[in-house]
Amino acid sequence: MKREDALFNWLQIQVVADARPEDRSALDTAAFFLQLLHEDHQMSDIGYRQEGSWYVLFGSADSQSVEVRYPAESVEALLVAIESEPKYNCN
């Protein structure tokens, strides 16, 4: 998987996992993409922050800083889809 795809996939599912800490599938999937970024792309210190209507993903690769910006709407699309599906929101 290309690094750019893995970064976006990790960010999108990590936002879901952070919003839904009881969602074991989201936590496991976020961990999978984080491991992929570590092992396949030698990335470390990966994290994100929200700045207005953008998410900024940051980390290090090959001793260089990496920073990528994504529109919040794109990042949050998976969370919106999950929360809009009644079968995933049973109490």
- Tell me the per-residue pLDDT of 22-67, one tens digit each, with 9 for 90 and over: 999 999 999 999 999 999 999 999 999 999 999 999 999 988 999 9
18 to 23, 27, 31, 68: CA distances (angstroms): 9, 8, 12, 19
Residue 72 lies in a domain: yes
Domain that holds residue 63: 3-80
Residue 91 lies in a domain: no
What was the pLDDT predicted at 23? 94
In the structure encoding, which two tokens stand for residue 4, read together?
Answer: 């750019």
Total structural domains within the chain: 1
What was the pLDDT predicted at 73? 98
**Does this model's pTM top 0.75?**
yes
Residue 89 lies in a domain: no
Residue 90 lies in a domain: no
